[in-house]
Amino acid sequence: MQEPTFLILTALAAEPTHGYGVIRAVDQLSQGEVVLRPGTLYGALDRLTDQGLVEIDREEAVDGRLRRYYRLTESGAAALTAQVERLRRNADAAAARLRPAFGGAL
């Protein structure tokens, strides 16, 4: 799973969110290291919707514009959970290799 996808799913894990909210959440989660442009985000949301990982929660009109909210599906939550576990295992393996080589740097 690519980092932007991981962060999008993470942004949607707590509650349904509209596109701009996802962009802001990804910025905060990544501490500014991942910047999603609207075109990139909506392409990713379309792909994730097609894969059944997210779905449209609702749509509402705000200032004459349609705002679409997305939410994580059960499949999306399972995929995110699996990715969290994989990343945790990899981080633990890296830390275990660094400790003896660099005097307990972690």
Give 59's contacts (C-beta < 8 A, 6+ positions apart). Answer: 66, 67, 68, 69
Establish if 38 belongs to a structural domain: yes
Q: Residue 106: pLDDT above 70?
A: no
- Output DSSP code: residue 54: E
Domain count, the chain: 1
Identify the pLDDT of residue 62.
85
Would 40 be classed as within a structural domain? yes
CATH number, domain at 44? Answer: 1.10.10.10
Asked if residue 100 has pLDDT above 80, the reply is no
Residue 101 lies in a domain: no
Token pair in block for residue 8: 């999008």
Q: Is residue 106 part of a domain?
A: no
Over the stretch 5-37, which tens digit does the pLDDT of each residue have?
Answer: 999 999 999 999 999 999 999 999 999 999 999
Residue 80 lies in a domain: yes
Nearest CA-CA partner of 45 in 2, 1, 3, 5: 5
Instruction: Report the pLDDT value the prediction gives residue 104, as an integer from 0 to 100.
Output: 62
Query: Are 59 and 66 in contact, with CB atoms under 8 Å apart?
Result: yes
pLDDT tens-digit series, residues 62-72: 888 889 999 99
> Does residue 87 sit within a domain?
yes
CA-CA-CA-CA dihedral for 29, 45, 83, 35, to nearest 10: -30
pLDDT in tens, 39-56: 999 999 999 999 999 999
Residue 77 lies in a domain: yes
Residue 22 lies in a domain: yes
The reported pTM is 0.89
Domain residue limits at 41: 3-96
User: Regarding predicted confidence, which is higher, 106 or 71?
Assistant: 71
* Percent of the chain residues past pLDDT 90, beyond the cut: 83
